[in-house]
Amino acid sequence: MAIPLTLFDKIWHSHLVDVQEDGTCLIYIDRHLVHEVTSPQAFEGLRLAGRRVRRPAWTLAVADHNVPTTDWSNSIADDESRLQVETLARNCNDFDIEFLHVNDVRQGVVHVVGPEQGFTLPGTTIVCGDSHTSTHGAFGALAFGIGTSEVEHVLATQTLLQKPAKNMRVRVDGMLRPCVTAKDIVLAIVGRLGTAGGTGHVIEYDGQAIRNLSMEERMTVCNMSIEAGARAGVIAPDDKTFTYLAGLPRAPRGAAWEKALAYWQTLRTDVQARFDSTVTLQAADLVPQVTWGTSPEDVVPITGHVPDPTLATESSKRRAMLRSLAYMGLTPGTPMTDIRIDRVFIGSCTNGRIEDLRKAAAVVRHRVVAPWVDAMVVPGSGLVKAQAEAEGLDRIFREAGFSWRKPGCSMCLAMNADRLSPGQRCASTSNRNFEGRQGREGRTHLMSPLMAAAAAITGYLTDVRSL
Partner 1 sequence: MVQQRHAGLKKFTVLTGVAAPLPMVNVDTDMIIPKQFLKTIQRSGLGRNLFHDMRYDHNEKERPEFILNQGIYRQAAILVTGDNFGCGSSREHAPWAILDFGIRCLVAPSYADIFFNNCLKNGILPLLLPQEHVNTLMEAAECGGARATMTVDLERQEVRVSHHRIISFAVDPFHKYCLMEGIEDIGLTMKKAHKITAYEEVQCHTRPWL
Q: Which stretch binds partner 1 (CB under 8 A): 94-102, 269-277, 370-378, 433-441?
A: 433-441
The minimum distance between CB 113 and partner 1, in angstroms, equals 18
> Which residue in 18, 308, 338, 389 binds partner 1 (CB under 8 A)?
18
Name residues whose C-beta falls within 8 Å of residue 47's C-beta, 6 or more positions apart in sequence: none
**Cα→Cα distances 389→386, 395, 444, Å:** 5, 8, 28
Q: Do you know the residue count of the chain?
A: 467
Q: Does 20 bind partner 1 (CB under 8 A)?
A: yes
Cα→Cα distances 392→112, 358, 385, 399, 411, Å: 21, 10, 10, 11, 24
The correct pick among 10, 111, 218, 231 for binding partner 1 (CB under 8 A) is 231
Considering the complex, what minimum distance in angstroms separates the CB of residue 426 from partner 1?
15
Residue 283: alpha-carbon gap to chain centroid: 21
Quick check: 271 and 172 in contact, CB under 8 A? no
86 three-class SS? helix
Q: Smallest distance from the beta carbon of 61 to partner 1, in angstroms?
A: 15
Residue placing its CB nearer to partner 1 in the complex, 142 or 384: 142
Our CB check for partner 1 shows the closer of 86 and 173 to be: 86
Does the footprint of partner 1 cover residue 56 (CB under 8 A)? no
Tell me if 122 contacts partner 1 by CB under 8 A.
Answer: no
Out of 260, 281, 302, 373, the only residue in the binding site for partner 1 (CB under 8 A) is 260
Residue range at the interface with partner 1 (CB under 8 A); choices 105-113, 258-266, 269-277, 350-358 = 258-266
Find the binding residues for partner 1 in span 145-164 (CB under 8 A): 145-150, 152-153, 156-159, 161, 163
Amino acid residing at 197: G
Cβ contacts of 354 within 8 Å, gap of 6 or more: 216, 384, 387, 388
Distance CA 177, CA 183 (A): 13
Out of 302, 413, 451, 455, the residue judged to bind partner 1 by CB under 8 A: 413
436 contributes a contact to partner 1 by CB under 8 A? yes
Q: Is 196 in the site for partner 1 (CB under 8 A)?
A: yes
Backbone φ and ψ of 76, nearest 5°: -100, 130
- Kindly state the smallest distance separating residue 78's Cβ from partner 1, in Å: 8
Contact 193, 231 (CB under 8 A): no
Measured from the CB atom, the residue of 190 and 209 that comes closer to partner 1 is 190
If the CB atoms of residues 291 and 462 are measured against partner 1, the closer one turns out to be: 291
Q: Is 77 in the site for partner 1 (CB under 8 A)?
A: no
**Does an H or E element contain 16, and which?**
strand 16-19
Least distance from partner 1 to the Cβ atom of residue 169, Å: 19
Q: CB-wise, 81 or 107, nearer to partner 1?
A: 81
The verdict on 114 binding partner 1 (CB under 8 A) reads no
127-149 burial, b if ≥16 CB within 10 A, otherwise e?
bbbbbbbbbbbbbbbbbbbbebe
- 415 lies in the site for partner 1, by CB under 8 A: yes
Q: Shortest gap between Cβ of 57 and partner 1 (angstroms)?
A: 10
Phi and psi at 427, nearest 5°, equal -90, 115
Count of CB atoms situated within 10 Å of the CB of 17: 13
Q: Does 131 engage in binding with partner 1 (CB under 8 A)?
A: yes
Check binding of 137 to partner 1 (CB under 8 A): no
Does the protein bind partner 1 through residue 81 (CB under 8 A)?
A: yes
Rounded to an integer, what distance in angstroms lies between the CA atom of residue 39 and that of residue 95?
A: 13
Q: CA nearest 29: which of 166, 113, 136?
A: 136
> What residues between 371 and 410 interact with partner 1 by CB under 8 A?
none
- Taking CB under 8 A as the binding criterion, the range among 102-110, 139-147, 169-177, 450-458 that sits at the site for partner 1 is 139-147
Work out whether 277 is an interface residue with partner 1 (CB under 8 A).
no
Report in angstroms how near the CB of residue 48 gets to partner 1 at its nearest.
4
CB of 147: closest distance to partner 1 in angstroms?
4
Q: Which of 68, 108, 114, 129 binds partner 1 (CB under 8 A)?
A: 129
State the CB neighbour count (10 A cutoff) for residue 95. 18
Q: Does the protein bind partner 1 through residue 252 (CB under 8 A)?
A: yes
CA end-to-end distance (rounded Å), the chain:
56
Please report which helix (H) or strand (E) contains residue 190, including its range. helix 182-193
